[in-house]
Amino acid sequence: MTNAQNPVHATAYWTTEREHGELRSEELPAPGPGEALVRALYSGISKGTEMVVHHGAVPPRVAKEMRAPHQEGQFPGPVKFGYLSVGVVEEGPEDWKGQRVFCLNPHQDRYIVPVGDLTRIPESVPARRAVLTGTVETAVNALWEAGPRLGDRVAVVGAGLVGGMVATLLRTFPLDRLQLVDLDPGRKQLADALEVDFAHPDDALADCDIVFHCSASQEGLERSLQLAGDEGDVIEMSWYANREVTLPLGEDFHARRLSIRASQVGVVARARRHRRTNADRLDLAVSLLADPVFDAFLTGLSPFDELPEVVQGLADGTLEALCHVIEYPQDSSQAASEGTSQDA
- What are the C-alpha distances in Å from 253 to residues 119, 248, 256, 269, 314? 41, 8, 6, 23, 35
- CATH superfamily of domain region 8-125+290-343: Medium-chain alcohol dehydrogenases, catalytic domain (3.90.180.10)
Nearest-10 crossing angle of helices 47-54, 307-316: 90
pLDDT for position 1: 53
Q: Where are the domains of the chain?
A: 8-125+290-343, 135-270
SS3 assignment, position 112? strand
Residue 141: closest CA among 13, 24, 266, 258? 266
Q: What is the enclosing helix (H) or strand (E) of 43?
A: strand 35-46
- What is the Rg, in whole angstroms, of the alpha carbon atoms belonging to the chain? 20
In terms of Cβ atoms closer than 10 Å to its own Cβ (0-12, 13-18, 19+), residue 318 is exposed
DSSP count for the chain of H helices, then E strands = 10, 17
Give the pLDDT confidence score for residue 7 in this predicted structure.
Answer: 78
Q: What is the CATH number of domain 135-270?
A: 3.40.50.720
Please compute, for residue 168, the number of CA atoms within 13 A of its CA located in the half-sphere on the CB side: 28
- Asked if the peptide bond before residue 126 counts as cis, ω within 30 degrees of 0, the response is no
Picking from 247, 4, 20, 2, the residue whose alpha carbon sits closest to that of residue 110 is: 2
**Facing residues of 233 across strands?**
210, 259
Q: Among candidates 69, 75, 70, which has minimal Cα distance to 54? A: 75
With 0-12 CB in 10 A as exposed, 13-18 as middle and 19+ as buried, what is 278?
Answer: middle
Burial state string for 196-226 with b = 16 or more CB within 10 A and e = fewer than 16: bbbbebeebeeebbbbbbbbbbeebbbbbbb
pTM for this one?
Answer: 0.92
Give residue 216's pLDDT.
Answer: 94
For the chain, what's the residue count? 344
Q: What is the pLDDT of residue 341?
A: 39
Low-confidence ranges of the chain (pLDDT < 50): 333, 336-342, 344
The reply to whether 8-125+290-343 and 135-270 are identical in fold is no
Q: Give the three-state DSSP class for 334.
A: helix
| Enclosing H/E stretch for 340 | helix 340-343
**pLDDT tens digits for 127-167?**
999 999 999 999 999 999 999 999 999 999 999 999 999 99
Distance of alpha carbon 299 from its chain centroid, rounded? 14
Contact, 175 vs 148, CB < 8 A? yes
* Contact (CB, 8 A) for 16 and 22: yes
